[in-house]
Amino acid sequence: MKSRFLILPAVAALASALVGCKPGSGDTIKVGEFASLTGKEATFGTSSHEGTELAIDEINAAGGVLGKKLELLTEDNQSKAGEPANIVNKLISRDGVVAVLGEVASSRSLEAAPIAQAAKIPLISPASTNPKVTEVGDYIFRVCFIDPFQGTVMANFADKTLKAKKVAVLTDAKSDYSKGLAKYFKEQFVKNGGTLASELDYNGGDKDFKAQLTTIKGAAPDAVFVPGYYNDVALIAIQAKELGLTIPLFGGDGWESENLLQVGKDAVEGNYFSTHCSPEDTSPKMTSFVASYKKKYNKTPDAMAALGYDSAYVLAEAIKRAGTTEGPKLRDAIAATKDFDGVTGKFSLDAKRDAVKSAAILQIKDGKFNFLETIAP
Amino acid sequence: MNEIFQQLVNGLALGAVYALIAIGYTMVYGVLRFINFAHGDVFMLGSFTGYYVAPQVAKWFPLPGWGGWAAVMAVTMIVCALIGIIIEFLAYRPLRNRPKLTVLITAIGVSLLIEYTCQHKAVFGASQKAFPTLLPAGNFTLGGLSFNTTQFVVLGVTLVLLAALTFIVKRTRMGMAMRAVSHNSAAASLMGISNSFIISFTFGLGSALAGAGGILYGMTYTGIEPLMGVNVGLKAFVAAVLGGIGNLPGAALGGLVLGVVETYAGGMSGISTYRDGIAFAILIVILIFKPTGLLGSKQIEKV
């Protein structure tokens, strides 16, 4: 019984500490961020968060914007459906952020977007590629290309580079990203004269893919398009190899994570995917970004980190141009972003609030992501 | 035709892991009449124990190799047995005489506590890790079917562990005491059986099997992460209910049925998304026609 009485004062102390540190100073500009720092797609959130944080630090070191420092409030959504809505609600209504940066995964951006739209708070997604995300409303932006473009690029790649006539598609039915990318890929691939050997689904987070892969093997395709996320792709590659499936696998930007190499090892060798940029890019912007990222986090950045970095700079620049942090004016300023010189290339936001930019195709070789080619929009 | 058999092999290997975990649910239910929802997390801890123990074991036994594999299995089963006993001692024992609902909610709490603590950077971290290779890779084809050593080992180990368990429960004094506590704990304690000891033993035994399941699962599917126990734990629970909760062979049968059904559903174009849904739908259908599960016997509710 005694221990219970000891816990009470501890809880009280903790509660008062939490109340005490409520952020509420008026001399900073609060920017909200929601990211998957833990859970299934943890490396996405970690990368985009680190990129964003690096950008905010640099902006503050250079004097901030409008004479104030930017304060980044980051919340973790645990890669779970349902969490983004809670978090973004909290960031907007409780913390009073002027804008929200976030999510890599399209499903989670789609969940948060209506809330930001209703509150007239701009939301900039670093890497959600499903077209539906910015269709939610005029306060929703993104700094990456969209899946119709990525799907087309990969369909042409399958056709021209892989010389594949019959392709099987393995889609994550739980993810808006995967479903969208698969759809645009299939449309273009069929238009190019290819046939779809078999179309199967899985649920993100599954560990057993042997059932689907056995069926795919039976259909004898030339290649398998897997528009999923890295954690599932690594296991798909391993199990495909175990079942004796030796054809190439290829996919989209959801593949890009060091984790794919760590888990997939030799099973992912030789496979291809499209993404936003490559750290091997020799542009001065990219080299200086890679150098300062390495200095701060002691690792090479991936595309999600670069996009997180760009999203923060797009916002900071828009705040400067707007001269205010009021929702409608800030929205107009972000929408007017033109020829922005980002780490992921020079881009403008189009009328649909999507970035128009090129895609890079990488191949996994010797346990590294090797740059293959850039494809302009 | 080949594909059908190939899927059967895949399904049995998956079902064997469900069976090992389902037995833990069923044993604890048999003795304490409550569902230990943290059991799926013990399974996850088993995978991670293997992950961290393997490099240490490799110093004495060559890995991948059979000796090293056996050592990893043994260490993991012991560690998981201890984890199970500690969970019971800290979380459930203080609530022994409280309503069953209290213990059930506590079990869910323990489960969440383990999952989210393990996701912290200082523990395992949230990202997926590659399970080390424990056995020499042997992919071979037989009559057009591809098998690997792991699939045989998973099935073989499951059968051996099931036989050992049946022996313990049916033929040893300890097993007799377990059955006595399950039947009537008050009377058993009057006969000089220490209820607490038997309950600890049951948790240890069930958790050791979950640990073995964790290793076999890691060997088969390679990717391990702190939330891997949620879905597998749920499926194993369903397997236990499917076979008739409280019934050991039933849990094993339920696991195999579930694994095979799920694999066939997963391999069919158009319905592959619904593989979990189909597995659960079958559970519902079976329970409508046979409410006690496949091998369960009718129980008279004591008033």
pLDDT band at B258 (very low <50, low <70, confident <90, very high): very high
Looking at residue A24, what is its pLDDT?
Answer: 43
Residue B177 has pLDDT above 80, yes or no: yes
- For A118-132, what is each residue's pLDDT tens digit? 888 899 999 888 888
> Do residues A158 and A164 lie in contact, with contact meaning Cβ atoms separated by under 8 Å?
yes
pLDDT band at B298 (very low <50, low <70, confident <90, very high): low
Which chain A residues touch B127 with a CB distance below 8 Å? Answer: 42-43, 231, 259
Q: How far is residue A129's CA from residue A146's CA, in Å, rounded to a whole number?
A: 4
> Do residues B96 and B88 lie in contact, with contact meaning Cβ atoms separated by under 8 Å?
no
How close, in Å, is residue B86 to chain A by CA atoms?
A: 19
Interface membership of A201 toward B (CB under 8 Å): yes
B128 with A211: Cβ contact below 8 A: no
Residue A16 has pLDDT above 70, yes or no: no
- For B86-115, what is each residue's pLDDT tens digit? 999 999 999 988 888 899 999 999 999 999
Looking at residue B216, what is its pLDDT?
Answer: 93
Q: Which whole number is the average pLDDT over A338-353?
A: 84
- For A246-297, what is each residue's pLDDT tens digit? 899 999 888 988 888 888 888 888 899 988 888 777 788 888 888 889 888 8
Closest residue to B10, CB basis, from A39, A205, A210: A210
A100: helix, coil or strand?
Answer: strand
Which chain B residues touch A244 with a CB distance below 8 Å? Answer: 139, 141, 146
> Do residues A233 and A249 lie in contact, with contact meaning Cβ atoms separated by under 8 Å?
yes
Closest C-alpha among B83, B112, B54 to residue B210? B83
CB pairs under 8 A, 24+ apart, for B142-148? B143/B2, B144/B2, B145/B2, B145/B5, B145/B6, B145/B9, B146/A242, B146/A243, B146/A244, B146/B6, B147/B9, B148/A242
Kind of pairing between the strands at A28-35 and A69-76: parallel
**Residue partners of B46: CB distance under 8 A and separation at least 6:** B76, B77, B79, B80, B210, B211, B212, B213, B214, B215
Closest residue to B223, CB basis, from A43, A244, A263: A263
Q: Is A63 exposed, middle or buried (CB count within 10 Å of its CB: 0-12, 13-18, 19+)?
A: exposed
A202 with B276: Cβ contact below 8 A: no
HSE-up (13 A, CA, CB side) for residue A224? 30
Looking at residue A22, what is its pLDDT?
Answer: 42
> Do residues A310 and A277 lie in contact, with contact meaning Cβ atoms separated by under 8 Å?
no
What whole-number percentage of chain B has pLDDT above 70?
97
Say which DSSP state A254 is in. G
Which chain A residues touch B90 with a CB distance below 8 Å? Answer: none
Q: How far is residue B51's CA from residue B219's CA, in Å, rounded to a whole number?
A: 10
Q: How far is residue A195's CA from residue A166's CA, in Å, rounded to a whole number?
A: 5
Residue A145 has pLDDT above 70, yes or no: yes
- For B114-153, what is each residue's pLDDT tens digit? 998 998 878 888 788 889 988 887 777 777 677 778 888 8
Q: Which residues, listed in sequence order, are joined to residue A375 by a DSSP beta bridge?
A: A359
pLDDT band at B1 (very low <50, low <70, confident <90, very high): low
Ranges of H-type helices in B64-118: 66-87, 100-118
- For A310-320, what is each residue's pLDDT tens digit? 999 998 888 88
What whole-number percentage of chain A has pLDDT above 90?
14
Ranges of H-type helices in chain B: 2-32, 39-57, 66-87, 100-118, 149-171, 173-183, 185-190, 195-221, 228-243, 248-266, 275-289
B269 with A263: Cβ contact below 8 A: no
Average pLDDT, chain A: 85
Q: What is the CATH number of domain A148-275?
A: 3.40.50.2300
Which chain B residues touch A211 with a CB distance below 8 Å? Answer: 7, 10-11, 262-267, 272, 275
**Topology of domain A25-145+282-357, per CATH?**
Rossmann fold (3.40.50)
Q: Which whole number is the average pLDDT over A89-110?
A: 89
A203 with B130: Cβ contact below 8 A: no
Cα→Cα distances A227→A254, B159, B303, Å: 7, 38, 57
Between residues B279 and B54, the one the model is more confident about: B54
Q: How far is residue A363's CA from residue A249's CA, in Å, rounded to a whole number?
A: 11
> Do residues A335 and A345 lie in contact, with contact meaning Cβ atoms separated by under 8 Å?
no
Tell me, rounded to whole angstroms, the distance of Cα A360 from its chain centroid: 15
B143: helix, coil or strand?
Answer: coil
Looking at residue B300, what is its pLDDT?
Answer: 54
Q: How far is residue B2's CA from residue B12's CA, in Å, rounded to a whole number?
A: 15
Looking at residue A23, what is its pLDDT?
Answer: 44
Which chain A residues touch B267 with a CB distance below 8 Å? Answer: 200, 211-212, 214-215
Looking at residue B15, what is its pLDDT?
Answer: 93
Q: Which whole number is the average pLDDT over A335-351?
A: 84
Report the greatest alpha carbon distance in chain A.
Answer: 76
Q: Report domain extents, chain B.
A: 20-230
**CA B188, B190, B193, B195 torsion: positive or negative?**
positive
Q: How far is residue B302's CA from residue B26's CA, in Å, rounded to a whole number?
A: 20
Closest residue to B3, CB basis, from A207, A214, A238: A214
pLDDT band at A21 (very low <50, low <70, confident <90, very high): very low
Question: What ipTM did this prediction achieve?
Answer: 0.84
Q: Mutation test of the interface with chain A: which of B222, B224, B235, B278, choosing the one with the most A Cβ atoms within 10 A?
A: B222
- For A29-50, what is each residue's pLDDT tens digit? 888 899 988 877 888 888 999 9
Closest C-alpha among A220, A331, A367 to residue B130? A367
Residue indicated by tokens 């002691």: A298
Q: Report domain extents, chain A.
A: 25-145+282-357, 148-275
Q: Which whole number is the average pLDDT over B163-184?
A: 91
Residue A26 has pLDDT above 90, yes or no: no
